[in-house]
Amino acid sequence: MNTTAQDQSVARRRSKGTAAVLVQFLGSMNLAITLLVVVCIASVIGTVLQQNQPYPDYLLKFGPYWFQVFEQLGLYDVYSAGWYLFILAFLVVSTSVCLTRNSPGMLREMNKFREHQQERSLRAFSNRREWTSALQMAEVEQLAARTFQRHGYRYRGKNHGEARLLAGMAGRSNRLGYIFTHLSIVVICVGGLIDGNLLLKFREWTGDLVVETRNIPVSQIDTSSRLPVTRAAFRGNVNIPEGRSAGVVFLNLKDGYVVQDLPFRLHVEEFRVEHYDTGEPSSFESDVVLTAPELDEPIHQTIRVNHPLIYDGYAIYQASFGDGGSQLALTAWPLTGEDRRPFELDGEVLQSQPLEINGREYQLELEDFQPMNVRPIPEAVTRRDVRNVGPSFTYRLRSPTGEAREYENYMLPVEVEGRQFFLSGVRGSPADDFRYLHLPADERGRPDTFMRFYTLLSNPDELRAASERGAQQTMSDFGLEDSQLVPQVAQTARELVRRLMEEDFPSVMAYLEASMDERQVPSERREVLMTFSRLTLERTLWEAYQEARDGTDVRTVSDLDEQGQQFFRDALAALSAMDQYAAPVFLQLRDFQHRQSTGLMIARAPGQNIVYLGFALLTIGIFLMFYVSHRRAWCWMRPLAGGGCQVLVAGANTRDPIGFQRRFQAMTDELDARLKAAEESARRKQD
C-alpha cells in the first residue's frame, strides 16, 4: 500500500511538473515573439502578393514550378490558410496563458505601496535627499503629504517604531499598459480567426464543399458548390451588367470558385466611367438599387471607389469594370477550304456560339470588347502624346478537339509608319504575347481588297488562270512564242506562289537556286532563269491583284501611284504572314452596341469590430507603457532627541532615470521650500 501511494505521489508530481513546463513554455516571451514575427511575415506576404486571384493568373506570373510551391504553402489565400489560422490560434493560447500568469501580479503591484522599506535601504537609492528640520514630525508629514499629492503621488503612511514612513506611488496605470497590450493581441487574433471563415475552410477540408471550375450559369451550379446565407465572414466579387441584377457573389477558391448566396439583390441601373487623356480611367461609379425582404423601400445609392454601400454588415465596394455583353456585328472571311465567300454573323461578348467554316465546326468564344484603345504615338515625348486607335474585341476559336487560340482584332485601321493596317493579334496561350498580323487597308479603309487578293491566290482555278496569263506575258517579254511551254511555266509560278504564302520572298528565291543546283543548270543560264522565274511570279501576283481590284486596267506595278505600289508591297508581306496566323477565319468588326458591367466586391467581416477594439486596446496600452511613467517615492521621518526630526526622501524609476531625476529634484526642492517656510513661520510666532 505504501509503495502504491508513493508511486501515485511521484506520478502526480511528474504530472504537475509537466503541466508547469508546458504552461511556462506557452507563456514564454520567446514563443510569443516568434509567433508574432511569423504572423508579421505572413501579413507582409498577404499584402505584397494579391490574394484570391484566379489560379491561371498566378500560373502565368510565377510559372509552373513556383506556382505549385506557393500553392502548397497557401500563399494565394494567406489569411485563410490552415497554418496561418493555426498560428493565430496558438498565439491566442500563448498570450492568454501569459496574461493569466502575469496579470494578477501586475494588479497587485498597482496597489502595493511598499511601505515596509527601511531607512538603510532608502539610503541606497541614487535619488535621495536628507534634511534636519526643527519642525515636529507630524508637521513634516503633513508638508510631505501635500508635496506628494501636488506631484501626482498617491501615498500611504506606516509607523516604524518611533519613525514614520510615507510611501508614494504615481503612474500605476503603466502596468495596465502591459495588460492592455497583451489583451489586444488576443482580441485582434480572435477577430482574425472569426474573419478567417473557419466554417468554409472546415467544409473544404472535409470535402463537403466542391470547388466549381466550369464557366456555367449560376442556375446550373450544384448545391455542393453553393454557400447559404449565413452571418459568417467572406469576401467575393460579382460582375453585373447595366440593367441587370444579382443575388450572389463568387468566392475565388483554389483553381475555381464557389457561390455565396446573399440575403438581398443588387440591380445596376447605370455604370459610368471617365478617362484621363492617357486613356487610363480617372473615376468610375455605379448607380445601384438594393432590395431585400425586410426593407420597406429599396435603397438607391451611387457606389464609388472608397465610397461603399454598407447594409446589415455587408460592405459593397466599387472594384472594377468590364464588358457586360456588348452586341457585335461581324464579317467572317474564311481563310481555309474551297468556299472563301465572306458572311455576316452577330455575337454577344461573354457568350459562345458555334461557327462553321467549310464544313468544320468551331466554337467562337467572345471574351471582351474595348470601345477605345489609347496607345502612345510613335516617338512620343511625353506620356500624354497618345492616340485612340478605336474599338477592339478579343475572342477564342476552339477547334473540335478542344484546342483554342486567342485573337485580338481592331475595328479600324491603325496607322503604322504612315500606312493603314488592320491589326489582328494571335497567341496560343495567355502566357504568350500577341503577335500581330498587319493587313493593309485599301483606299476605302477596308480589308476587302486584300482579302479578295488572298482568296484569289488560294483558289486553284483562279490561281491557274492568273498564272497562265502571267506566264504568257513573261514569255512575250522574253520573246518566247512557244505556247506549249505556258502550262509548265504557269505550274512553276503556282508552286512559287504557294511557297510565298507559306514562307517569304527570300525563301522563294533560295528555293529557286536550290532547284537549279539539283538540275545542274549552267551558271551562264542561271541568272536568266532566275530573272524569268521572278518575273513570272510577279506577273502572276499582279494578275491576281488586278482581279482583286475589280479588274482596273493598269498594266504594271510601276503604273500605280506611290500609295498603290506601297499597298501591293504590303499585301505581299501580309501573304507571307498568313501561314503563321494559322486561323481558319478572319473576323472583322463592322458595328457594335456597347454594354458595360460593374465589378463589385462584397465583403462581410463580423470580426472587424473586434479587431478595431483590439487596435484601440493596443493604442491605449502602448500609450500607457511609453508615456506613463511608474514612479515611487518615500519619505522617512525620525524624531531627534533634542527636538525636531530627521527627514529622508528617496525615489525610484527604472524606465526613465534621467527624466525622473529632474522630477525628483523639483519635488524635493519644493519640499525643502515648504520646510523652510514652515520653520520661518514658527520662529516668527515664537518671537
pLDDT digits 0-9 by tens, 538-557: 888 888 888 887 655 555 55
Residue 458 pLDDT > 70: yes
Mean pLDDT for 678-687 is: 86
Per the structure block, which three cell numbers stand in for 396? Answer: 477564342
According to DSSP, the residues that pair with 589 across neighbouring strands are 330
190 and 212 in a single domain? The answer is no
The predicted pLDDT at position 159 comes to 94
Q: Is residue 1 part of a domain?
A: no
SS3 letters across 255-290 = CEEEEEEEEEEEEEEEEEEEECCCCCEEEEEEEEEE
Tell me the C-alpha distance between 78 and 201, whole Å. Answer: 12
Task: Decide which of 543, 570, 604 is a domain's last residue.
Answer: 604
CA 405, 406, 411, 412 torsion-angle sign: negative
Task: Decide which of 604, 637, 662 is a domain's last residue.
Answer: 604
CA nearest to 114, candidates 160, 147, 151: 160
Measured at the CA of 650, the angle between CA 646 and CA 651, to 5 degrees, comes to 160
Sequence-distant (≥ 6) Cβ neighbours of residue 228 within 8 angstroms: 261
79 and 190 in a single domain? The answer is yes
The predicted pLDDT at position 631 comes to 92
The predicted pLDDT at position 259 comes to 93
Four-CA torsion 489, 492, 496, 502, nearest 10 degrees: 150
65 and 191 in a single domain? The answer is yes
The predicted pLDDT at position 512 comes to 79
Mean pLDDT for 11-23 is: 65
Residue 39 pLDDT > 90: no
Q: Is residue 124 part of a domain?
A: yes
The predicted pLDDT at position 428 comes to 87
Residue 1 pLDDT > 50: no
Q: Out of 272-286, 299-313, 341-355, pick the least confident.
A: 272-286
Check if the beta carbon of residue 183 is closer than 8 Å to that of residue 629: no
Mean pLDDT for 182-210 is: 84
Taking CA atoms, 93 is separated from 35, 88, 96, 167, 621, in Å, by 11, 9, 5, 38, 20
373 and 457 in a single domain? The answer is no
Burial category of 452 from C-beta neighbours within 10 Å (exposed 0-12, middle 13-18, buried 19 and up): buried
Measured in Å, how far apart are the chain's first and last C-alpha atoms? 88
Mean pLDDT for 78-82 is: 79
Per the structure block, which three cell numbers stand in for 397? Answer: 476559336
314 and 331 in a single domain? The answer is no
65 and 34 in a single domain? The answer is yes
189 and 59 in a single domain? The answer is yes
Beta strand segments in 297-441, E: 299-304, 309-311, 314-323, 327-334, 343-348, 352-357, 360-370, 374-376, 386-388, 392-398, 404-410, 414-416, 419-427, 435-440
Q: Is residue 422 part of a domain?
A: yes
Give the SS3 label for residue 374.
Answer: strand
User: Which CATH number does the domain housing residue 682 bear?
Assistant: 3.30.160.110
How is 646-681 classified by DSSP, letter by letter?
Answer: EEEEEEE-SS-HHHHHHHHHHHHHHHHHHHHHHHHH
Q: Is residue 3 part of a domain?
A: no
332 and 296 in a single domain? The answer is no
480 and 582 in a single domain? The answer is yes
Residue 420 pLDDT > 90: yes
The predicted pLDDT at position 443 comes to 86
What band does 170 get if pLDDT is binned at 50, 70 and 90?
A: very high
Mean pLDDT for 132-136 is: 91
The predicted pLDDT at position 654 comes to 79
Q: Is residue 463 part of a domain?
A: yes
Burial category of 226 from C-beta neighbours within 10 Å (exposed 0-12, middle 13-18, buried 19 and up): middle
Burial category of 341 from C-beta neighbours within 10 Å (exposed 0-12, middle 13-18, buried 19 and up): exposed
Please give the model's pTM, rounded to 2 decimal places. 0.68
The predicted pLDDT at position 638 comes to 94
CA nearest to 141, candidates 633, 635, 634, 632: 635
The predicted pLDDT at position 253 comes to 81
Taking CA atoms, 559 is separated from 29, 156, 209, 315, 542, in Å, by 91, 116, 73, 70, 12
Number of domains in the chain: 5
Q: Is residue 337 part of a domain?
A: yes
Residue 14 pLDDT > 70: no
188 and 70 in a single domain? The answer is yes
Q: Out of 409-413, 558-562, 618-622, 663-667, pick the least confident.
A: 558-562
pLDDT, mean over the chain: 86
- Give the structural domain span for 663: 113-171+629-686
Q: Is residue 9 part of a domain?
A: no
Measured at the CA of 63, the angle between CA 213 and CA 252, to 5 degrees, comes to 30
327-334/343-348 β-pairing? antiparallel
CA 112, 113, 116, 118 torsion-angle sign: positive
Q: Which residue type sits at 598? A: T
134 membership: H or E segment, kind and range: none
Q: Out of 33-42, 135-144, 350-359, pick the least confident.
A: 33-42
Check if the beta carbon of residue 32 is closer than 8 Å to that of residue 56: no
pLDDT, tens only, 213-250: 888 888 889 989 999 998 888 889 999 999 999 999 99
Q: Is residue 2 part of a domain?
A: no
Tell me the C-alpha distance between 173 and 214, whole Å. Answer: 59
Tell me the C-alpha distance between 503 and 76, whole Å. Answer: 45
Mean pLDDT for 121-128 is: 93
The predicted pLDDT at position 239 comes to 93
pLDDT, tens only, 568-578: 889 988 988 88
Q: 390: left (phi > 0), else alpha (psi -120 to 50), else beta? A: left
Mean pLDDT for 354-381 is: 85
Tell me the C-alpha distance between 602 and 238, whole Å. Answer: 8
Residue 210 pLDDT > 60: yes
Tell me the C-alpha distance between 586 and 225, whole Å. Answer: 39
368 and 507 in a single domain? The answer is no
583 and 474 in a single domain? The answer is yes
Check if the beta carbon of residue 335 is closer than 8 Å to that of residue 585: yes
Per the structure block, which three cell numbers stand in for 100? Answer: 493569466
Tell me the C-alpha distance between 263 and 247, whole Å. Answer: 7
